[in-house]
Amino acid sequence: MNSPRKAFHRILLTGAAGGLGRILRERIKPWADIIRLSDISDLGIAADGEELVQCDLADRAQVHALMQDVDLVLHFGGISTEHHFDDIMQANILGTYNVYEAAHQAGVKRIIFASSNHTVGYYKTTDFIDAHMPVRPDGMYGISKCFGENLSRYYYDRFGIETVCLRIGSSFPEPLNRRMMVTYFSYDDLVELLRCAAFTPRVGHTISFGVSNNPASWWDNRYASHLGYQAKDSSARFAAQFPDSGDYPAADDITTQYQGGAFLLTGPQYR
């Protein structure tokens, strides 16, 4: 008996050895016949239905080869924290350009781009913002994600490559501090938002905040409502770990006054 036809033949996941890449590696398998996994780091041993490609995203030729026969790209590759600009430029800026140009040359029609809440980290924690408000990055890492969002807009307007930019909050097994009670994004909700971004018939160019259904919120997702994403999880079940003492945001602590949190203290970095 033949297996049911899957929605995609081949999905490319960049950054597959990273924290979220390791989570997605198993969870997206039902969507495609083949998952092509890429990272600059070692990816271990290929399982059934996997193709492993060690690739430096800053190497144009490698990325163009990586993109052949791909139907959908989940672009999670690059540096995920504040870092020296030279490194961010290679991995996040040049690397993202190479991904989009290779996708254009290969005829790929949709990319899901792992952006970040740090594109808007200089909004205050008392602000409630949406995706149409100006970016306010909190470091070089955030700036690189702003670049990716703008680049993806260009490739949609010029070449018709659809993109959903996911401004990912804090995707961990559980919140680690009070800030993450607002930005918490469970793994299950991450996969669900990715599913919506992959399977919605038309997405154009969409920016969606990646966040669970938490009791407090800084982000309005009205402009991504066509994706149909409904978060199932909430940070509420962790509330006892971070009791409300009435001192948040603290008058003398910018990491609680601005949405970017500790990223406001980590950059720029110099060699």
Instruction: Report DSSP letters for 143-211, one per residue.
Output: HHHHHHHHHHHHHHHHH--EEEEEEE-B-SSS--STTHHHHB--HHHHHHHHHHHHHSS---EEEEEE-
pLDDT digits (tens, 9 = 90+) for 125-150: 999 999 999 999 999 999 999 999 99
* Predicted local distance difference test score (pLDDT) of residue 163: 98
* Predicted local distance difference test score (pLDDT) of residue 270: 62
* Predicted local distance difference test score (pLDDT) of residue 252: 83
CA distances for 176 relative to 104, 184, 258, 259, angstroms: 39, 9, 17, 15
Give first-to-last CA distance, the chain, whole Å: 60
Q: Which residues of the chain have pLDDT under 70?
A: 1-4, 245-246, 269-271
Domain ranges of the chain: 8-265
Please give the positions annotated as active site.
Answer: 141
Token pair recorded at residue 222: 């009205």
The arrangement of secondary structure in 8-265, i.e. its CATH architecture, is 3-Layer(aba) Sandwich (3.40)
